[in-house]
Structure 1
Amino acid sequence: MTNTITTKFTDEYKQQAPQYSELLFDIATKCKPKTTLRVSKAKEVTESYFKHTGEAMDAESLEILADMILMDELLDTHPDKMTRKEYPIMSDSQQEERYSGEVDFEWASNVGTNHVDYTISTRDNLRKRRIFVGSK
């Protein structure tokens, strides 16, 4: 990452904050700097913004900066990531994939450890089974 990016905000600071954040994110994705440098750049931009405006950056800009800092963790697509790392962070796509295989707790509470559903069968229960398990 370069040291020449300006962190001075003008009167149009509300439009500049997302632009600076996206610029830093783009540079970070291309250059792949160390995490400490990404943290220092994000801190520099947020402190400069606060010094100029007296208020915190908007949520969108802060989220972009957070994604830039956590880039290594979010780009790790290894399928065994959750067991390899002590505190893994899932990306949005990994979170969607994980939740797609989960079933409703109310429905799962009636299924034994032997995978037998002990609910009294009615049309409604069969419909739920088809929805959650995908069986016919």
Structure 2
Amino acid sequence: MTTTIPVYMTKEEWFEYLAFFEKLAIALPPETRKQYVEELIDLHFVHFHKYPDSRNLQRLADMLLVEQLKDPDPDKMTKEEYPFLSDRQEDKRKQREMSMESETIDYMNVKYRMRLDSTFKKRTENKDD
């Protein structure tokens, strides 16, 4: 699974390789993806005498973890041994969660302001009256 290293490669050609392998990644087994990622990093180093920048390293890491990142299961945090969320999944989770500042932890006040059940005062009358 070795690729032939071109004698000369431009940055645009390297980005084309990267985009091609990103599309192909989901169909490849993890070990093959790992080999492709290592070769892309080596290719970049051979031609440009430095490693890819952090944004491109993030793209390469996403290629390695493509199955976990594409998993839409909302309950994957409890099913996986070492779970993590993609950026989009984390944003969605944060939108669903209610955050409070330390000064506003007055539980009943928050429930009342948000009109949650069991906080509204209910009129009760004694049955004897």
TM-score of the superposition, structure 2-length normalised? 0.72
| Unmatched segments (≥5 aa) in structure 2 | 117-129
Q: How does 1:17-96 map to 2 (within 5 A)?
A: 17-29=14-26, 32-96=27-91
How many residue pairs get aligned? The number is: 115
In 1, the alpha carbon distance for the partners of 2:82 and 2:104 equals 27
Q: Is 1:110 the counterpart of 2:102 in the alignment?
A: no
In 2, the alpha carbon distance for the partners of 1:118 and 1:79 equals 27
TM-score of the superposition, structure 1-length normalised? 0.69
% of aligned pairs identical?
A: 29
Larger CA Rg, structure 1 vs 2? 2
Q: CA deviation at 1:73?
A: 0.4
| Unmatched segments (≥5 aa) in structure 1 | none
In 2, the alpha carbon distance for the partners of 1:36 and 1:89 equals 20
**Cα RMSD (Å) of the superposition?**
2.8
In 1, the alpha carbon distance for the partners of 2:110 and 2:96 equals 21
Residue deviations 1:11-65 (CA, integer Å, cap 9, x gap): 52x2233221111011223xx1111110111001101211222111133332221
